[in-house]
Every structure is written in C-alpha cells, then in structure tokens.
A and B are shown apart, each in its own frame.
Chain A
Amino acid sequence: QVQLEQSGAEVKKPGASVKVSCKASGYTFSAYYLHWVRQAPGQGLEWLGLINPGVGATRFSRKFQDRVSLTRDTSTNTAYMEMNNLRPDDTAIYYCARDRVVDGTSAYLTFWGQGTLVTVSS
C-alpha cells in the first residue's frame, strides 16, 4: 500500500533552516509528482511547491520560491523539503502528498504523509 513517512518534529530558531524528509513506499517513486503543503496552527492549507521525482524538476509557489528547495534521492525513494531563513510565522505542520496521476500533475493529492510539525521560536 502507498505510504509516505515523514521525519519527526523540529524546533528551530528564527533565521535557521529546516529539512523535512518524506520517504515513499508502495509505488514507483519516480512516476508520481510529490507536493508539499503546510498548515499553520488553526489555519488553512497552503501549497509550497512540487517535485517530479523522476527528473528532479521543481515548481514553487511565488511566495516560497526564494526560501524553499525541493530535492529527492531516488536510491532511497525519499523527497526533501528545505526551508531557509525561518520566521516564527513559518510554524506549521508540513505535509508531503502524492499526486493522483502518473507522469504528470493533476494537483489532486491522493496520499498524504502524517505531517511534520516545525516550530520556529527564539
């Protein structure tokens, strides 16, 4: 069965960086785009970007394109989201989620990781 297993909670100081991992299993990793979505406490969902694990191509929300990088390791079927220059309002649960369609993006997110809480506080 499809599973996305994310790394554990992080506590960071303002200005620091964080790297969250998302290990995929149960399907062909390179065939499905992975998206990253975050949710601040008590707030709605916010899309950060996506990666095509097959070739490593990425696309970002304009809001995050200067501070977020998305990478993948096809040898371990793991995707990574790194955010730089963290601010307190980056405190949120960060999710990875798999696209519904093969070899493309519909932006319909069928499988989700369990989420990783990133807390930014001095």
Chain B
Amino acid sequence: DIRLTQSPSTLSASVGDRVTITCRASQYISDWLAWYQQKPGEAPKLLIYRSSVLESGVPSRFSGSGSGTDFTLTISSLQPGDSATYYCQQSETFGQGTKVEIK
C-alpha cells in the first residue's frame, strides 16, 4: 500500500508569507496527487488535482508541483482565511495532514 507523509505537521506563519507543505509518497505515483483544505467543522475542499491543476474557483495563490514521489503545495501569500488543515491524497490514501496557523 502507498503511504503519504506530509511535513511539517503544523506550521505557523504570518499574513503575506509564502508557505510550502510537502507530501512524500512511499512509491512512484506519477502526478496522481490531490490537495485538500479543511477548516474546522467543514468538509474538505479540493484545491488541486493531478499534482498541479487548480480546481475551479480556487484562488491563484495556491499552487502545486511535483511528480514521482515528492510533491509540494505552496500558498504564495498567506491570507487569514487560509488557516486550515491541508491534506494530500493519492487514490484511497490520505496524508496525515498539515495544520496551518496564522501568527
């Protein structure tokens, strides 16, 4: 089974900062990776699929990259509403999540 390992588990950054979250797969997965944002009390929201394709309606400050086993989610300029937990996903496997807090 494929395992996805996210880092860091938690990060704290200021509004306007560039934030990067990484996701490492235990084996080659090409570009079959998605990223979700989940705010407390809400269902997850798809941000990016196929590693780098932005879902419709998602702000352009979110971007994804990577292929093979190493992937990144970048928020180019952190906004107050971006405080959430972010998950990577490959098929039936999710990463453990990265909680993003605003300083």
Instruction: Choose among A45, A100, A110, A114 the residue that contacts B94 (Cβ–Cβ < 8 A).
Output: A45
User: Which residue of chain B has its CB nearest to the CB of A114?
Assistant: B43
Beyond A106-B49, A108-B49, A109-B44, whether A44 also contacts B55 by CB under 8 A is no
B44 to chain A: which residues have CB within 8 Å? 37, 45, 95, 97, 109, 112
Query: Restricting to A11-58, which residues have a CB under 8 Å from any CB of B?
Result: 37, 44-47
Query: Restricting to B70-103, which residues have a CB under 8 Å from any CB of A?
Result: 87, 89-97
Asked whether any CB of chain A lies closer than 8 Å to the CB of B25, the reply is no
Cβ-defined contact, A100 with B87, below 8 A = no
Asked whether any CB of chain A lies closer than 8 Å to the CB of B54, the reply is no
Beyond A44-B96, A44-B97, A106-B49, whether A112 also contacts B91 by CB under 8 A is no
Docked Cα-Cα span, A37 to B34, in Å, equals 15
Beyond A45-B87, A108-B34, A112-B43, whether A100 also contacts B92 by CB under 8 A is no
Docked Cα-Cα span, A114 to B55, in Å, equals 20
Cβ-defined contact, B43 with A47, below 8 A = no
Docked Cα-Cα span, A62 to B55, in Å, equals 29
Cβ-defined contact, A110 with B46, below 8 A = yes
Cβ-defined contact, B43 with A95, below 8 A = yes
A44 to chain B: which residues have CB within 8 Å? 87, 94-97
Cβ-defined contact, B95 with A47, below 8 A = no
Beyond A44-B87, A45-B87, whether A109 also contacts B46 by CB under 8 A is yes
Asked whether any CB of chain B lies closer than 8 Å to the CB of A61, the reply is yes
User: Which residue of chain A has its CB nearest to the CB of B48?
Assistant: A108
Query: Restricting to B31-67, which residues have a CB under 8 Å from any CB of A?
Result: 34, 36, 38, 43-46, 49-50, 55
What is the minimal beta-carbon distance from B67 to any residue of chain A, in angstroms?
16
Docked Cα-Cα span, A97 to B46, in Å, equals 11
Cβ-defined contact, A100 with B46, below 8 A = yes
Cβ-defined contact, B91 with A107, below 8 A = yes
Cβ-defined contact, B55 with A110, below 8 A = yes
B→A interface (CB under 8 Å): 1, 34, 36, 38, 43-46, 49-50, 55, 87, 89-97
4 nearest A-B pairs in the assembled complex, by CB-CB distance = A112-B43, A108-B49, A47-B92, A45-B94
